[in-house]
Structure 1
Amino acid sequence: MTDTTLSPTDTVVLPSPAGAAVGPATLQARAVSAWFGNHKVLERVSLTMPAGQVTALIGPSGCGKSTFLRTLNRMHELIPAAQFAGEVLFEGEDIYGPARRLTDARRRIGMVFQKPNPFPAMSIYDNVVAGLKLTGTRANRREKDVLVEESLTRAGLWKEVRDRLRQPGGALSGGQQQRLCIARALAVRPRVLLMDEPCSALDPTSTRRVEETIHELAGEVTIVIVTHNMQQAARVSDQCAFFLAEQGTPGGIVEQGSTERIFSTPEDPRTADYVAGRFG
């Protein structure tokens, strides 16, 4: 097994190079289509995810929400036989452009998965800084210490773990592990954070804490979240996009707009039925 622990003697420069832009970024999908082999799962999806806002992707299982999310930082292409068409613009530049590096997309557009996935035998501290090595960035011990406290604070976990940073990340509760994963994603200072049903495996108390973390991060980073929980979408998001795949057709967006409008006065009757719980 490869050891991803960073040595305290590493000398480094933290992830934001001099002159690099910081703060939330606008992400825009243009005519995004996706396939698994010959099976088309998304059909020309276009969506703007404004800087500093929370965009919720809602819809029944199998409509392409998570696949769309994975196209936004080039995770989709890791799947064998996966194909992609369209553009994903990060501040106006296509992350799939021939001059764009995969590592740049993954650093600027972080991701938190459905199931918490900290490195279980690695300490809380080393979990947070692991992303530095994995993205090829460098930092000295003092810079790492500052980064660990900053990232855990932004993820709402610092006060709970500051006295046990050298204990294994796998010893934390499920909700704490998910917030540790959020801290690990934030440590490389992304400008967009993708979240694929981050609360689906958590109890109500842990879910509430993760939602509080999302509220605290809003404005600092652009967030795109997939959720099946309509109440959660209403609580945490500024805008929603309702995905649907009907009668074996590829998934697409039926309706998008402000969360308040989507939940109160949707234009499409299918949207109204879904948010009211009549199907899905």
Structure 2
Amino acid sequence: MPPVPATAAPAPATLEARAVSAWFGNHQVLSRVSLTMPAGQVTALIGPSGCGKSTFLRTLNRMHEMIPAAQFGGEVLFEGEDIYDPSWRLTDARRRIGMVFQKPNPFPAMSIYDNVVAGLRLTGTRASRRTKDELVEESLTRAGLWKEVRDRLRQPGGVLSGGQQQRLCIARALAVRPRVLLMDEPCSALDPTSTRRVEETIQELAGQVTVVIVTHNMQQAARVSHQCAFFLAEQGTPGGIVEHGPTENIFGTPKDQRTADYVAGRFG
């Protein structure tokens, strides 16, 4: 992948959660979760279903508050600034902290080109045609898709394969030049070949943008991440982090027996 010009994208940012708690109505799903996600690194959130990983991910760019009756407590610091502070507009949080969902969700009738630049309209960003052209090429290149679609940018995004659609969604998220990219099980709906290509894209993005990924695939977490956080919710208690640290330590020399049992596949 050719290098992106230094002026093309801002530097990745450090994201820090402090004592994050979350509720759906009266049901608490997270309790005082604290985690630093270092700039330019890939942080994997692992753990069994129902332990709050995806909810935690959604608190990191204020998507949790879109759910009726959802409540939040704690702080999420973006380079030291709390994104839940009243001085932060919701569009600022979404522009700086992008999101890629579990299932590819391109706008199927919209062209590949228009899919990429759709985020500009959603965030109220104005750009000339030349700037859009450059941004489309840059974003598709960063998402590892440019060579495959450069001759058919006017075709609908819905004609692409599942793996290509997911990389198109990554390109769309990158087009607003976020400094953090959140990914909620981005490969769970993909075949092995498409999964490998998306993983390669994540590895290529490391250093350019901070990535936080939820995954149930332990091999994937080991392959793509620099650090892991193991979430667990036991006996009806809210989810929390049992252990976090460098990926090689979590998989090789975990400190907690529950972590060792989970990464070895003994439960979950």
Q: C-alpha separation between the residues in 2 aligned to 1:201 and 1:23?
A: 30
Partner of 2:194: 206
What is the SS of the residue equivalent to 1:242?
strand
User: How far did 1:22 drift?
Assistant: 1.6
What residue in structure 2 maps to residue 119 of structure 1? 107
* Residue 37 of structure 1, CA deviation: 0.3
Query: The residue matched to 1:100 in structure 2 has which SS?
Result: coil
Aligned residues: 262
State the AA in 1 paired with 2:20: V
Q: In 2, distance between residues paired with 1:229 and 1:235?
A: 10
Q: Which amino acid aligns with 1:88?
A: V
Partner of 2:61: 73
Cross-structure match for 1:267 = 255
Which amino acid in the other structure matches residue 242 of structure 2? V
- Give the aligned partner of residue 5 of structure 1: none
CA distance in structure 2 between the aligned counterparts of 1:118 and 1:77, rounded to whole angstroms: 23
SS across alignment from 1:86 = strand
Structure 2: gaps (5+ residues): 1-6
C-alpha distance in 2, partners of 1:25/1:119?
A: 29
Question: Are 1:196 and 2:167 an aligned pair?
Answer: no
SS of equivalent to 1:42:
strand
User: Shift in Å at residue 98 of structure 1?
Assistant: 1.2
The residue aligned with 2:146 is 158
Distance in 2 (alpha carbons) for counterparts of 1:269 and 1:143: 52
Distance (Å, rounded) in 2 between the aligned partners of 1:169 and 1:198: 17
SS of residue paired to 2:16? strand
What is the alpha-carbon root mean square deviation over aligned residues?
A: 1.1
Residue 123 of structure 2 corresponds to residue 135 of structure 1: yes
TM-score by length of 2: 0.97
Alpha-carbon deviations, 1:50-106, whole Å to 9, x = none? 000000000000000000000000000000000000000000000000111110000
1:187-240 deviations in whole A, cap 9, x for unaligned?
000000000000000000000000000010000000000000000000000000
Superposed CA offset, 1:109-131 (max 9, x none): 00000000000000000000000
Distance (whole Å) between structure 2 residues aligned to residue 136 and residue 271 of structure 1: 44
| 2:32 is aligned with 1:44 | yes
Give the corresponding residue for 1:186: 174
The separation in 2 between residues aligned to 1:177 and 1:23, in whole angstroms, is: 26
Question: What is the DSSP-based 3-state SS (H/G/I as helix, E as strand, rest coil) of the residue aligned with 2:130?
Answer: helix
Q: Distance in 1 between matches of 2:88 and 2:139?
A: 27
2:216 to 205, 219, 228: 228
In structure 1, what is the Cα distance between the partners aligned to 2:34 and 2:194?
Answer: 33
Deviation at 1:147, TM superposition (A): 0.3
Equivalent AA in structure 2 for residue 159 of structure 1: K
1:129-175 Cα deviation digits (max 9, x unpaired): 00000000001111100000000000000000000000000110000
What residue in structure 1 maps to residue 93 of structure 2?
105
Once residues 23 and 207 of structure 1 are traced to their aligned partners in structure 2, the CA distance between those partners, rounded to angstroms, is 26
Q: In 2, distance between residues paired with 1:123 and 1:99?
A: 36
SS in 2 for 1:243: strand
Q: Which runs of 5+ in 1 are unaligned?
A: 1-18
2-side partners of 1:99 and 1:174: how far apart?
39
Partners of 2:118 and 2:182 lie apart in 1 by 19
Shift of 1:276: 0.1
Q: How does 1:54-69 map to 2 (within 5 A)?
A: 54-69=42-57
Q: TM-score, normalised by structure 1?
A: 0.93
Aligned residue for 1:170, secondary structure, equals helix
